[in-house]
Structure 1
Amino acid sequence: MPTYDYFCSANSRTVEVTHKMSEGIATWGELCNKAGIETDDTPANATVKRLITGGAIISNSGSEPPCASGGCCPGGSCGL
């Protein structure tokens, strides 16, 4: 599932959350609910904007190792 960074101009905070590509988050309250954090003094209806990032994808498949050695290559030979 991809991770996204959202910025709230009402409190100048950026929060990272994971959700389906088809989902969208529009308010600070929705973002806090998804991230499992408190809204604190920021109004729940304050708008948030998704930031453009590299778009990391987290996979739980575990079917293939990240490189031929079965783990991270200390010498950097696999390029990871």
Structure 2
Amino acid sequence: MPTYDYRCETTGDVFEVKHPMALKLSTWADLCDVAGFNQGTTPPDAPITKLLTTGGVVSSRSLKNPEAPPCMSGGGCPGKQSCGI
């Protein structure tokens, strides 16, 4: 199951949550339900924003070499070249 980062727009706090890709979260109550968080004093209808994060997913169809690049398999980036990931 993928992991996503969300920011609560009321408090500015960022939370990491695992949930299915098809699930769309838009409020603090939604996030708390999925993650099992206590809502606390934050209003349940407080908006949340899904943050852009870099995932460790590489499609082998997009690579000339079907092996994952070293940076995606824990080996670090070879040299100072940019592979676009």
If the TM-score is normalised by the length of the shorter chain, which range does it land in? 0.5 to 0.7
Q: Kindly state the Cα deviation for residue 56 of structure 1 after the two structures are TM-superposed.
A: 4.8
What is the number of residues matched between the two proteins? 60
Conserved? CA contact 1:6–1:50, under 8 Å: yes
Cα distance per residue 1:20-73 (max 9 Å; x no partner) = 11111000011011111111110001110000001357xxxxxxxxxxxxxxxx
**Are residue 27 (structure 1) and residue 27 (structure 2) matched?**
yes
TM-score, normalization: structure 1?
Answer: 0.67
Structure 1 residue runs without a partner (length 5+)? 58-77
Structure 2 residue runs without a partner (length 5+)? 58-73, 77-85
Counterpart mapping for 1:59-74 below 5 A: none
Aligned to 1:9: 9
Percent identical: 40
Larger RCO: 1 or 2 (CA < 8 Å, sep 6+)? 1
Moved over 6 A (4+): none
SS in 1 for 2:15: strand
